[in-house]
Structure 1
Amino acid sequence: MKLLVTSAIKLSNEQIAQLSKKNELIFVENEKAISLDAIELEAIEGIVCNFFFVNNSLDIFPNLRFVQLTSVGTERVSVKELQRRNIRFYNIRTAYAIPMAEFALAELLNIYKNARFFISNQERKHWVKNREILEIAGKKALILGYGTVGRSIAQRLKAFDVEVIGMSRSKKYDEYCDGFITKESLDDIIPEIDIFILCLPKTDATYHIIDDKRLERMKDTATIINVARGSLIDEKRLIDLIDGGKFLGVALDVFEEEPLSESSKLWEYDNVYITPHNSFVSETINQRIFEELMENLEEE
């Protein structure tokens, strides 16, 4: 297969050699600012990318039959067009599950153990105890989106004796979950939940799934962690409620607009943890992505 490999994947020399055994590789350095003038577009049969189709149309590749995204989300390419043309299409299914789950748990513990208090005092060389440290044991968590990332989070929460509920269209049982709900039951369970962890993809159906009414129904002591997509939460209403003293803590790795504007009030709160869409990163993800790519290519 003649495979266009963009900067979305970082390959070692050994991986390049392995990938080249059955494929002719064409490399492009920057998929966001790419020039295709030197590429014979009609010859391209496969593409490995992330943002590539934000600026490039599928139509310019008449013989395309394979697309591998390096992201979990699929909103940057027309899935309907891929399906219409019978192009084999893959997103990342498992590579990010472990680092994202660990990240979500770390943020949860940062909030419950008031990490910011101690970091601030360390910077000022202040020896001050905090008597308001909380346990996550016995708390009730709702994971919205129970794919590989959601399940990996549930596995870690169970080790901390957290009661875990998953929201899924199809799941009815899992060893790491105490029960499942569908989206239709979400409003009923919200007042019972201590910890909300968002793992849903960006779609029309999930836009502002955590809207003003659902935010208002949450406990004043609730915690929200979003490692999925910023579009899941009504950010403006979230800010209003934080201003009013609601929420034990909020950890946001994703936002409605990225990068987050310096003018956003979200930067200002002591109980809000901001990270720059970083939860997926680890020293092993490139190898895992490569393994998924090779497995998918074997099916061709």
Structure 2
Amino acid sequence: MKDKLVIVSTTKMKTVIKEHLNESFPDAVFIWSKSIEEAREHLYKADIILTYGEDLTTEDITSASRLQWIMVISAGMDKMPFEAIDQKGIKITNVKGIHGKPMAEYTVFAILQHARQGKQYYKQEQQKIWSRRAVPVEVEGRNVTILGAGSIGTETAKAVKRFDMHTTGVNTKGTAASHFDKMYSTSQLKEAVSSADYVVNVLPLTDETENIMDRHVFEAMKEEAVFINIGRGSTVQEEDLIDALQKGVIHHAVLDVFNQEPLGESHPFWEMENVTVTPHISGISSGYIPRAMDIFEQNLKAFLRHPESMINVVDVKKGY
């Protein structure tokens, strides 16, 4: 009798999701762990690992002698032990595409919060001050440059278009993308940001994008510009950003991702008036896990019947 497929989850799941998958795939054995520490005793028998992707180590991959496929229920892949995974020929898929709507909404929130002086009026509310000195501005006709014109970037461009804003996109080669008025390549980054009122960074972390947002790029931006980072913290040279904000090179930054997370209590960003900090929540919503598990279920069906039809397959050598 053929052994059943063993699927080990390294992250806590809701009971309704576990019950649905157990019933839908009776020929598979699901081991539902709440953490990687709990899951490690089962990795040696795992054919598939279901994970957020930030917990697996090279040692874990080595111990998982039967492992064929890793399903990462996030889009970020920069903490995966790719070398070990590549050496063993293990397939990786992720949930690329499901972050688009919540991250686009976050971007709209960030733009409107700044334009409508939300931070200032919240402070006045806390202090019980009635003042209209902080004058809101309208966003219609403003320019938004989005760094990264993939699924998240295009969804973001589509969202800001509803406010009649102009959109500029940046991708590797400057190829056309939906909902963008103009496109630039990454080699034209300084030109792409030069006319932007809002620069939205959704770039993944790669060798090419690490620290790509440095002082030269910030100096190319308008003094009135707002920088919004919802991509990866390490695409930004934080010291250069702090310097640009302190010197008034750019006006404001809305930051959801950082080089080190959680952001340390002593980090300057917490105390800077022209910085808004959120705790890496731009992609989180009540619909996140259900959409992620829909992709997993679709891929699991494909894995069992037609592996070549699996979606969101990650290029292990590129890391995304």
Question: TM-score with structure 2 length normalisation?
Answer: 0.86
The Cα of 1:35 is off from its aligned counterpart by: 5.8
Determine the structure 2 residue equivalent to 1:47: 49
Query: What letter corresponds to residue 211 of structure 2 in structure 1?
Result: H
User: Partners of 1:170 and 1:82 in 2: how far apart?
Assistant: 29
Q: Assess if the C-alpha contact under 8 Å between 2:43 and 2:63 holds in 1.
A: no
Q: Assess if the C-alpha contact under 8 Å between 2:107 and 2:228 holds in 1.
A: yes
Determine the structure 1 residue equivalent to 2:21: 16
Q: Secondary structure at the match of 1:213?
A: helix
1:19–1:181: structure 2 CA closer, same or farther, 3 Å change rule? farther
The Cα of 1:120 is off from its aligned counterpart by: 1.2
Structure 1, residues 252-298: CA drift from partner, whole Å, max 9, x if none? 00101111111111111222110111111111111101101111112
1:110 aligned onto 2:113: yes
Unaligned runs of 5+ in 1: none
1:40–1:277: structure 2 CA closer, same or farther, 3 Å change rule? closer
Determine the structure 1 residue equivalent to 2:69: 66
User: Partners of 2:72 and 2:15 in 1: how far apart?
Assistant: 15
Determine the structure 2 residue equivalent to 1:213: 216
Q: Assess if the C-alpha contact under 8 Å between 2:218 and 2:241 holds in 1.
A: yes
1:195–1:268: structure 2 CA closer, same or farther, 3 Å change rule? same
Determine the structure 1 residue equivalent to 2:8: 4
User: Partners of 1:246 and 1:10 in 2: how far apart?
Assistant: 46
Moved more, 201-210 or 49-58: 49-58
1:205–1:117: structure 2 CA closer, same or farther, 3 Å change rule? same
User: Partners of 2:218 and 2:254 in 1: how far apart?
Assistant: 15
1:65–1:269: structure 2 CA closer, same or farther, 3 Å change rule? same
The Cα of 1:173 is off from its aligned counterpart by: 2.9
1:203–1:73: structure 2 CA closer, same or farther, 3 Å change rule? same
Unaligned runs of 5+ in 2: 304-320
150, 161, 164: which one pairs with 1:147? 150
Q: Secondary structure at the match of 1:202?
A: coil
The Cα of 1:36 is off from its aligned counterpart by: 2.6
Q: Assess if the C-alpha contact under 8 Å between 1:111 and 1:248 holds in 2.
A: no
Structure 1, residues 108-157: CA drift from partner, whole Å, max 9, x if none? 11111110111111122222113531222111111111121111111101
Q: Percent identity?
A: 25
User: Partners of 1:117 and 1:55 in 2: how far apart?
Assistant: 47
Q: Assess if the C-alpha contact under 8 Å between 1:112 and 1:136 holds in 2.
A: yes
Q: Assess if the C-alpha contact under 8 Å between 2:168 and 2:192 holds in 1.
A: no
Q: Secondary structure at the match of 1:172?
A: coil
Question: TM-score with structure 1 length normalisation?
Answer: 0.92
Determine the structure 1 residue equivalent to 2:35: 30
1:77 aligned onto 2:80: yes
Q: Secondary structure at the match of 1:296?
A: helix
Please give the root-mean-square deviation of Cα atoms over the aligned residues, in Å: 1.9
Q: Secondary structure at the match of 2:293?
A: helix
Structure 1, residues 20-43: CA drift from partner, whole Å, max 9, x if none? 434210121112x34633x261x2
User: Partners of 2:24 and 2:168 in 1: how far apart?
Assistant: 41
